[in-house]
Structure 1
Amino acid sequence: MAMTSIHKLLNIVFPLMIIISILVILPPYLVFKLLSYIKRSMFTENVAGKVVLITGASSGIGEGLAYEYARRGAGLALVARREDFLRKSRGKIVAITSVAAWVPTPRATFYNASKAALVSFYETLRVECDSHIGITIVLPGLIESEMTVPDSLSKFQAKFLPPIESTRQCAEAIVHSACRGDMYLTEPSWSSSLFMLKLLCPELFDWFYRWNFMSGSKIDQL
């Protein structure tokens, strides 16, 4: 009974404390983030002469990253990914996931779940590695690849799909972001607004996705 009363009290007090804390902390935090972004943009990492390990470099975003890093003078090689070496060299990990990790796409249940698991894995790893290893989590939207050809996209039966970004443009954005030391990159950047819509207006978000993907059709996948 006592625990029930405590939780009822926390249900009222804790959200109020969080709101007040956000109102106090948010203004200086935003200033700090702006100054940090300006600093990272002015002093980006020079990857010339460094060795970059890229998995899945035969096509799509991986191939675009290989070309972009090579253009910047980096050496591309398959190397042993030893934790002690990464810590010593203050290495970087660029994790390519998907915007579907934050904004799940209907008819892609297992794909969404796998990408969300990847984001959770790398967020946890980033905390465990402290500042020794930089981890940039990339959440690309519709990027030119085998997954975004008309035959592949037709299975979603969407009434509306946003424009597809070129692989080269996405790769350039990823390399810039990794060199700045960003924690996250959503590419194209406007797709992050979908996450804000989902966070602030979940009912409106669900209604739009249901109308766009599921209206007039049966659920094919659970």
Structure 2
Amino acid sequence: MYEAYFNNKFTNALVFYTSLLLLFLVSPFLFLWELINNIGSCFRCHENMTRKVVLITGASSGLGELMAYEYAKRGAYLAVIAIKEPESRLEQVADKARELGSPDVLFMFADVSKVDECRMFVDETVKHFGQLDHLVCNAGIGPLYSINHDVIKFAPVMDINFWGSVYPTHFAISHLMKTNGKIIVNASCAGVLNPPKGGFYNASKAALISFYESLRFEVSPKITITILTLGFIQTNIITAKYSTKGVGAHLRKVSNISFQTTTDLSTDAKS
């Protein structure tokens, strides 16, 4: 018994100190690689997006809509994705993107929390345009839940915010490898700063950041990954559909740098 206990303790200690040693040995090289890539990106010319293919999730409103318009102005082909809801403006977004300069816009309704639907819109995009150059993982929800609320309400936050980016990434990787493409992930500063009352939202964004920081080393240098960790932006990401009793965050301009939050509205929050 004592011998088994000693052997187990020795093995645990060996694994721990070996892992620690590898961490100290490898971390400086990973940091240096990341630093070189970031410095290099500062001197690279802006990418010519003319006739390149961009897929954007959560494109019917907010930041996804605005990114679609910016890509359109630069002459990119677009595939815009959003969940099918009565108030969805996805078709109007597609029409405006064409007016702004996109040669062709494909719009599809899909739920990013469902793996088969993610496979569908990635496959349809490549089938329609013949390639994929940028994947913009933007779809997300931002409900405010307390740990005291019904536990089943927490699941959609991770399903949409985390898996809703991972699923399309999984299906897009092979296509992006062929074009030396890019993945843009709309995370959040909440994944780092952890504001109160947003524990599940914060956790979903922290998971995104951690996953894509790890993935960048697996796909580099073929695929470039950009992780957006934005602050408060007035969009409709918090919706009554995913909130508890309509609790959300309302941003009201008080001065140039301050804001107030209330609990009587379920829209106008951050991305």
In the superposition, the TM-score normalised over structure 1's length comes to 0.51
Query: In the aligned structure 1, how far is the partner of 2:220 from the partner of 2:36?
Result: 22
Q: CA deviation at 1:86?
A: 1.3
> For the residues of structure 1 that align with 2:216 and 2:56, how far apart are their CA atoms?
19
2:201 to 87, 111, 115: 111
Alignment-mate amino acid for residue 56 of structure 1 = G
Instruction: Give the 3 Å change call, closer, same or farther, for CA 102–60 of structure 1 in structure 2.
Output: same
Task: Look up the SS of the partner of 2:185 in the other structure.
Answer: strand
CA offsets per residue over residues 91-140 of structure 1, 9 Å max, x none? Answer: 10001011000111101111001111111111122122232111111111
The answer to whether the 8 A contact 1:47-1:69 is kept is yes
- Using the alignment, how far apart are the partners of 2:250 and 2:255 within structure 1? 11
SS in 1 for 2:226: strand
One-letter amino acid of the counterpart of residue 43, structure 1: R
What amino acid sits opposite 1:49 in the alignment?
R
2:197 & 2:256 partners in 1: Cα distance?
A: 14
Residue aligned with 1:146, SS: coil
Corresponding residue number in structure 2 for 1:75: 77
The residue aligned with 2:248 is: 152
CA distance in structure 2 between the partners assigned to 1:61 and 1:49 by the alignment: 22
Q: Partner residue of 2:175? A: 85
Q: CA deviation at 1:35?
A: 8.1
Match of 2:68 in 1: 66
Question: Per the alignment, do residues 154 and 87 of structure 1 end up closer, same or farther by CA in structure 2, a change over 3 Å counting?
Answer: closer
- C-alpha distance after superposition, 1:158-188 (max 9, x if no partner): x999458xxxxxxxxxxxxxxxxxxxxxxxx
Equivalent in the alignment of 1:99:
189
CA distance in 2, matches of 1:92, 1:118: 16
Q: Distance in 1 between matches of 2:177 and 2:229?
A: 25
| Number of residue pairs the alignment of both structures matches | 152
Kept in 2, the 8 Å contact 1:142–1:162? The answer is no
* TM-score (normalizing by structure 2): 0.43
148 and 52 in structure 1: CA distance in 2 versus 1, 3 angstrom threshold: same
Deviation at 1:43, TM superposition (A): 2.6
How far apart, in 2, do the equivalents of 1:126 and 1:38 lie?
16
Question: CA shift at 1:144, angstroms?
Answer: 2.1
- Cα 1:121–1:33, aligned 2, differ >3 Å: closer, same or farther? closer
**Which residue number corresponds to residue 125 of structure 1?**
215
Unaligned runs of at least 5 residues, structure 2: 1-5, 13-19, 80-105, 107-124, 127-170, 240-246, 263-271
**CA–CA distance in structure 2, aligned partners of residues 66 and 47 of structure 1:** 12
CA distance in structure 1 between the aligned counterparts of 2:217 and 2:211, rounded to whole angstroms: 10
User: Cα distance 1:137–1:74, how it changes in 2: closer, same or farther (>3 A)?
Assistant: same
CA distance in 2, matches of 1:113, 1:161: 29
Higher helix share: 1
Distance 1:153 1:93, change over 3 A: same
Residue 233 of structure 2 is aligned to residue 143 of structure 1: yes
CA contact (8 A) 1:147 1:153 kept: no
Offset of residue 154 of structure 1: 4.6
Cα distance change, pair 59–46 in 1 and its aligned pair in 2 (3 A): same
Query: 1:70 offset after TM fit, Å?
Result: 0.8
- Higher RCO (CA 8 Å, separation ≥ 6 residues): 1
Secondary structure of the 2:183 match is strand
Give the deviation of 1:33 after TM superposition. 8.4
Q: Relative to 1, partners in 2 of residues 1:62 and 1:112: Cα closer, same or farther, differing over 3 Å?
A: same
SS of the residue 1:153 aligns to: coil
